[in-house]
C-alpha cells in the first residue's frame, strides 16, 4: 500500500472513530495517542518518507502535514463540541430562574420563650434571677422548707432519690434556702429551672417540668404586696382584662397560703396557675433570719402550665416530643 493510500486509510479510520466521540477523558486520550501521539499512526507515516524518492518526498511531506493539521483540527473541534454539550447539560440541570433555597433559621423553644417572658416581667419590678442545684440534699429540698421526715406533705409528691440523702429536686424552692443561707436580707429573687417528679406521663403530667420560684424577704412585707405582685404578673402575661382570683390553700413552707386561678374562656372554668403565700416563720428561722423582724412572701409556678394556657396547648407531651409540626407553630 502506497503512502498516499495509507494517508487516506488513516483519515477514514479517524473520521469513523470520532463519530462516536467519547465523553470521558480516558477515551479521549486513547484517540489522541492512537492518531496524533508521538508513536501514533500519523507519526508512523512520517517515518516512511525516507523510503520515498527525492522527487516524491516534498509532495508526500505536504500531504502528511495537511493530514496532521486536519486531524488535529477535527480532534480539537470534537473536544470543544463535547465541552459545550456538557455545559448545556449542566445548565439544563440548574434552572437559574428558580428561587433559591431558604435558609431556615432556628428559634427558641416555646418553653424557653415563655420562661423569658416570665423573667422579663419580674425583672421589670426589681427581682433578680438565681439558679441552683438540680441534685440536692434532703435537707434543702424538704427539711429546711418545714417538711421534716414523715411529714404528710411528703406524700404529695413522689420523689426521685439518688440515695437516701440526695434527691432530684421536686421544686426550685430548694434554691431559696441556699440563697437565704448565703445572703442577708432583704432579698428579692426568682429561681427558674427544671424539677423532677416520679409521676405517670400523661397529657397533663410529666416526669420533669420547669418551675419558677419567687421569694421576697424584707421588713414589714405584707400579703397585700404579694397580691399586687401576682396581679401585675397575670395582667402582663395574659392581658389586662384577664380575670383572676386568690383561693385559700395549704403549703408547708408558707402561712397563710393561697393558689391563684385565672378564668379560661375556652374551658369556661377557673384554672390554677401558681401557688403562693407568706413565708412560714419556721423557714426563716431555719436559715438564721429573725422572724420577728423579717417577713417575706413566696410563689411558685409551672412554666408548662403557663405556656399551655397562654398558647392553647392541650397536651404537655408536645413540649418534649420534638415534633417539628408543633414547634414550628411558635417560631
User: 232-286 pLDDT, tens per residue?
Assistant: 999 999 999 999 999 999 999 999 999 999 999 988 999 999 999 999 999 999 9
- State the residue range of the domain holding 177: 110-330
Same structural domain, 63 and 137 = no
Same structural domain, 196 and 285 = yes
Give the predicted TM-score (pTM) of the model: 0.67
Same structural domain, 136 and 173 = yes
Q: How far apart are CA 15 and CA 74, in angstroms?
A: 9
Whether 102 is in a domain gets the answer no
Same structural domain, 187 and 273 = yes
* Residue 50: predicted pLDDT: 75
* Residue 87: predicted pLDDT: 59
Q: How far apart are CA 172 and CA 169, in angstroms?
A: 7
- Domain boundary, last residue among 64, 93, 122: 93
Chain-centroid distance of CA 195 in Å reads 22
Same structural domain, 138 and 40 = no
Same structural domain, 121 and 217 = yes
* Residue 301: predicted pLDDT: 96
* Residue 88: predicted pLDDT: 54
Same structural domain, 201 and 296 = yes
Query: Any idea what the CATH number is for the domain that residue 293 is in?
Result: 3.30.930.10
Number of domains composing the chain: 2
* Residue 69: predicted pLDDT: 87
Name the residue with cell 423532677. Answer: 196
Regions of the chain where pLDDT drops below 50: none
Query: Long-range pairs for 255-264 at CB < 8 Å and ≥24 separation?
Result: 255/280, 255/281, 256/223, 260/230, 260/234, 260/299, 262/234, 262/238, 262/309, 264/309
* Residue 31: predicted pLDDT: 82
Same structural domain, 283 and 147 = yes
Chain-centroid distance of CA 215 in Å reads 32
* Residue 156: predicted pLDDT: 57
Strand partners, 248: 258
- Domain boundary, last residue among 63, 93, 123: 93
Whether 242 is in a domain gets the answer yes
- Domain boundary, last residue among 93, 125, 159: 93
Whether 65 is in a domain gets the answer yes
Same structural domain, 222 and 259 = yes
Q: How far apart are CA 226 and CA 230, in angstroms?
A: 6
Residue range 43-71, pLDDT digits in tens: 888 887 777 787 888 887 888 888 888 88
Amino acid at each position: 500500500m502506497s503512502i498516499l493510500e495509507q494517508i487516506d486509510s488513516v483519515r477514514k479510520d479517524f473520521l469513523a472513530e470520532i463519530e462516536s466521540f467519547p465523553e470521558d477523558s480516558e477515551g479521549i486520550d486513547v484517540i489522541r495517542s492512537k492518531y496524533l501521539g508521538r508513536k501514533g499512526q500519523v507519526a508512523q507515516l512520517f517515518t516512511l518518507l525516507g523510503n520515498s524518492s527525492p522527487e516524491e518526498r516534498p509532495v508526500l511531506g505536504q500531504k502528511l502535514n495537511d493530514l496532521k493539521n486536519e486531524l488535529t483540527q477535527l480532534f480539537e473541534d470534537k473536544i470543544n463540541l463535547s465541552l459545550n454539550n456538557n455545559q448545556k447539560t449542566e445548565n439544563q440541570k440548574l434552572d437559574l430562574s428558580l428561587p433559591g433555597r431558604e435558609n431556615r433559621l432556628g428559634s427558641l423553644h416555646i418553653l424557653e420563650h415563655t420562661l423569658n417572658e416570665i423573667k422579663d416581667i419580674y425583672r421589670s419590678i426589681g427581682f433578680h434571677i438565681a439558679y441552683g442545684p438540680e441534685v440536692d440534699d434532703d435537707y434543702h429540698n424538704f427539711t429546711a422548707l418545714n417538711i421534716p421526715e414523715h411529714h404528710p406533705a411528703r406524700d404529695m409528691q413522689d420523689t426521685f432519690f439518688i440515695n437516701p440523702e440526695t434527691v432530684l429536686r421536686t421544686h426550685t424552692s430548694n434554691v431559696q434556702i441556699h440563697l437565704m443561707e448565703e445572703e442577708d436580707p432583704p432579698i428579692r429573687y426568682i429561681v427558674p429551672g427544671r424539677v423532677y417528679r416520679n409521676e405517670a406521663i400523661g397529657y397533663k403530667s410529666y416526669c420533669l417540668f420547669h418551675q419558677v420560684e419567687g421569694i421576697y424577704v424584707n421588713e414589714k412585707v405584707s400579703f397585700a404586696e404579694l397580691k399586687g405582685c401576682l396581679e401585675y404578673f397575670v395582667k402582663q402575661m395574659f392581658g389586662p382584662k384577664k380575670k383572676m382570683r386568690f383561693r385559700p390553700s395549704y403549703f408547708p413552707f408558707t402561712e397563710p397560703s393561697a393558689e391563684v386561678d385565672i378564668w379560661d374562656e375556652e374551658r369556661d372554668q377557673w384554672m390554677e396557675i401558681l401557688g403562693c403565700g407568706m413565708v412560714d416563720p419556721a423557714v426563716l428561722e431555719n436559715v438564721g433570719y429573725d422572724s420577728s423582724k423579717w417577713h417575706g412572701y413566696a410563689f411558685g409556678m409551672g412554666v408548662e402550665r403557663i405556656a399551655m394556657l397562654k398558647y392553647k396547648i392541650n397536651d404537655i407531651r408536645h413540649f418534649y416530643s420534638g415534633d417539628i409540626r408543633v414547634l414550628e407553630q411558635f417560631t
